[in-house]
Amino acid sequence: MLEYKPENKIDLEQERKDILNAFKGLLRALKNRTREDTSLIRKAFDMALDAHKDMRRKSGEPYIYHPITVARICAEEMGLGATAVVCALIHDTVEDTHITLEDIEDLFGPRVRLIIDGLTKIPEVFDENASIQAENFRKMILTISDDLRVVLIKLADRLHNMRTLGSMRVDKQLKIASETKFLYAPLAHRLGLYSIKTELEDLSMMYCEPKIYSEIETKLKSTADVRNRFIRRFMSPIRETLLHEGYIFDIKARTKSISSIWRKMQTKDIPFEEVFDVFAIRIIVETPVELEKPDCWRIYSIVTDFYQPSPDRLRDWVSTPRANGYESLHTTVMSPQGRWVEVQIRSKRMDEIAEIGLAAHYKYKESKGEDSKLDRWIAEIRDLLDNPEASALEFVNDFKLNLFNDEIYVFTPRGELRVLPIGSTILDFAYDIHSDIGNTCIGAKVNNRLMPLSYQLKNGDQLEIITSSKQKPNEEWLKFVVSARAKQKIKSSLNEERKLIAMDGKEILERKFKQFNVRMSSENINFLEKYFNAHSATELYFRIAKGKVNLSKLRELEVVAGSIQLIKKDLQKKKKSNEDEKIVGIDTNADTILIGDDFKGFDYQMAKCCNPIPGDKVFGFITITDGIKIHRNNCPNAVHLMSKYAYRCIKARWKSNKLVERVAAIKIVGIDQIGLVNKLTEIISNQNNVNMKSISFETDDGIFEGHIKVMVYDTEHLEQLTGKFEEIDGVQRVTRWDSETGEVIE
């Protein structure tokens, strides 16, 4: 938000009319509202309009458009009711204006206050090593067990911010887009908000990878007509049969999202033209709930009467819905043109849940009073919140584990179904049953065969957990588990054990203090925490008990009236070492590193994880011990750094007049031919005068794959080289690649 000062005079009367029209559009979007609902929404709109009357967004438009649009997303795209719309309209008033939570409660009641409190950012300043955004995210999730609408409104808020991100500075765009990709898109997925998750991912990619996004978008548009003709021909016999059978249905063709296509291209290491599932066909049938399953299978039978199905690609989420509530029957069939086509079959109710996910479940729960999947997920969130000692970043990391993309289905000895993240082990299953069973688990019988704790579960496994009263968790267990619940329970158990050991350490220190006539005071403990670099008193006591702290060093300290202090020269030395650990004097919002020039006397170097070269879009990251590292904007670590440590990211650009050779890695794929390597090395050494660092080739069934590291000046220099490689007969694809991760760089 920005105080906007336009050069030209604004037509305030027209602006007022436009705002009222936007509000009327919101009311039209909220179906089945009562007169009381309309009155409450009008009251919220009037409050927001007055509170934000002098505020404008960075685009220049009145700020009130933002809460109106967020409220409309809640009503139109999530199917939420009047309470959510009221909260969306006033969601920024407490944070940005004079209105307080008490005012909200007086006008709208305690439920609306609770939701607004969850949506309000935390105003205090946090420790410099903690991400403020992580704290805000944690606070939002704290309210999830009280009211899911907090998270749904926050997602609507984030979606509108992403839709209007174009008016922000480039560095802000990258930070917000990275944070969205890291936290909010997975959260939307976990809540089953498929369309919102897809849009968030695409918008994030549009700002993080603009060139690739534009290329894929152009290719999708250019192939749209061919795709549509193919779909019409493919569906014609199926449509006729369904009509003949008397079904009421709708057929939609869903094009794969740009971000999803790019993920497939990276994962499979293939070009756009080789992504076979660019689209999927969806058959939505209107049928009563009791006939949904048989009707879906009957339609599946009709589809496979015309086209041969792939047995490996049948997904039955009608019998066993996914953890986020998704229900559908997926099959992939071969068309007469020799092309695989994915067909999704579902009822109208299933389609609504697929589009708005747990928002639909939430609405259902309000009226019907039951939703085991939602209750189960909220119970998992409560488990995560049971650990008050976890830092915000640790909480966010554990919470992300709960946003898994894929699940497996396993069974208890009595046949009860349990849904776990893919990659789960026996320990994950044990903790899913009960904390005590997890803490005492020594193994399990999987399908009547004895298996160790680290055994990875497979779909359909049946488990019987074996426990022992002598067993207890250890640090190694954290490597065996993938579910957030199991990780949190193991950490809690280890912390309890640490506290018991720390009590012994405290007794040892008390005896030592007595020996040196030192008081057991909080000031003296705080002093020793800093002196021995311990993060807390508990850690200090734990290290003392384990013999990791040399208490004989207490002799080097002065004791004055029962208080300990460093000798003056040691104090100066310690102060200097502490200062060396911090990089001060840098304003990450205003400063820009000009690569090639000195930057305020600080060292900076190219990050080895992505080896940026001049021409790449880059940013600086302030590390704790190694100065500033320069990363590419599309570095594999960029999303993680920008979303979790945005306050340590700094703008950077290249100084164009200084040519320095840097390493770039190239991957070449093609058909093996005699003399091919000679042609490549000739181009490198003779035609472009480029120094080669390394070269390696492998051939498999006539297909070769080569990896070359060369020294180039910038991206233009590199593109000249790769362009000449592409002209060689037999070479099919030349890409820049990351030598650390093996991923293709575009």
Integer angstrom CA distances of residue 121 from 2, 168, 292, 463: 17, 20, 44, 44
- Residues 240 and 294: their CA atoms lie apart, in Å, by 20
By CB atoms closer than 10 A (0-12, 13-18, 19+), residue 623 is: middle
Q: Do residues 456 and 425 lie in contact, with contact meaning Cβ atoms separated by under 8 Å? A: yes
- Residues 190 and 636: their CA atoms lie apart, in Å, by 23
Q: What is the CA radius of gyration of the chain?
A: 30
Q: Dihedral of CA 274/275/276/278: which sign?
A: negative
- Residues 170 and 620: their CA atoms lie apart, in Å, by 14
DSSP letter assigned to residue 683: I
The owner of tokens 């299978």 is: 297
The owner of tokens 């003779």 is: 686
- Residues 109 and 105: their CA atoms lie apart, in Å, by 4
- Residues 409 and 623: their CA atoms lie apart, in Å, by 42
What amino acid is encoded at 69 in this protein?
T
Q: Do residues 109 and 144 lie in contact, with contact meaning Cβ atoms separated by under 8 Å? A: no
Q: Which of 61, 96, 146, 570 is catalytic?
A: 96
Q: Is 672 a catalytic residue?
A: no
> In residues, how long is the chain?
746
The owner of tokens 């449509």 is: 239
Q: Dihedral of CA 400/401/406/411: which sign?
A: negative
- Residues 136 and 156: their CA atoms lie apart, in Å, by 16
Q: Which residues pair with 446 in a beta bridge?
A: 449, 463
Q: Are strands 592-595 and 649-654 parallel, antiparallel or unpaired?
A: parallel
- Residues 142 and 495: their CA atoms lie apart, in Å, by 22
Nearest to 166 by CA among 156, 150, 177: 177
Cβ neighbours around 584 below 10 Å, total: 7
The owner of tokens 């992505």 is: 610
**Interior/surface letters 242-263, b for 16+ CB within 10 angstroms, e for the rest:** beeeebebeeebeebbbbbbbe
- Residues 644 and 131: their CA atoms lie apart, in Å, by 6
Q: Is 37 a catalytic residue?
A: no
By CB atoms closer than 10 A (0-12, 13-18, 19+), residue 653 is: middle
Integer angstrom CA distances of residue 323 from 183, 378, 398, 404, 405: 18, 12, 17, 9, 10
Q: Where are the alpha helices (DSSP H) in 269-357?
A: 292-306, 348-356
Q: Do residues 189 and 181 lie in contact, with contact meaning Cβ atoms separated by under 8 Å? A: no
Q: How would DSSP label each residue in 506-572? A: HHHHHHHHHHTT----HHHHHHHHHHTT-SSHHHHHHHHHTT-S-GGGGGGSEEETTEEE--HHHHH
Integer angstrom CA distances of residue 302 from 237, 243, 245, 296, 319: 10, 12, 10, 10, 19
Q: Which of 18, 61, 95, 672 is catalytic?
A: 95
Q: What would the two tokens of residue 352 be?
A: 């609504």
- Residues 427 and 473: their CA atoms lie apart, in Å, by 10
Judged by phi (left if over 0) then psi (alpha if -120 to 50, else beta), residue 600 lies in left
- Residues 168 and 681: their CA atoms lie apart, in Å, by 45
Catalytic positions, please?
95-96
